[in-house]
Amino acid sequence: MLGIGFAAAAKVGLLLIIALTIEVLFLGLTVAAKIGEAERSRWQIILLTGALSLLLPVGALLALPVSRLSGDVLTDSSRSD
């Protein structure tokens, strides 16, 4: 979705990044609050929230090889139906 936003216009992509950052921030706060309700120590809350926050950049790194594929490979335009 971010790629589509940047393809449309740089300002649109920037607004999408800001919105996604705010969304992830509040998601992290919610997770930390819920973990805190489970009577966990402060260090466990920090470690669990930190580990969960690493999933987003790790997923982006894992998707990087796919982003370098040509459009023909992704859309399979060579098929004739």
Predicted structure pTM score: 0.56
Tokens 């402060």 locate to: 42
| 7 — pLDDT class (breaks 50, 70, 90) | low
User: Who wins on pLDDT, 37 or 59?
Assistant: 37
Tokens 């992290």 locate to: 28
At 18 the three-state DSSP class reads helix
Spell 30-67 as b/e; 16+ CB within 10 A means b. eebeebeeeeeeeeebeeebeeeeeeeeeeeeeeeeee
Contact yes or no for 13/5 (Cβ under 8 A): yes
pLDDT digits (tens, 9 = 90+) for 33-57: 888 888 888 898 888 888 888 887 8
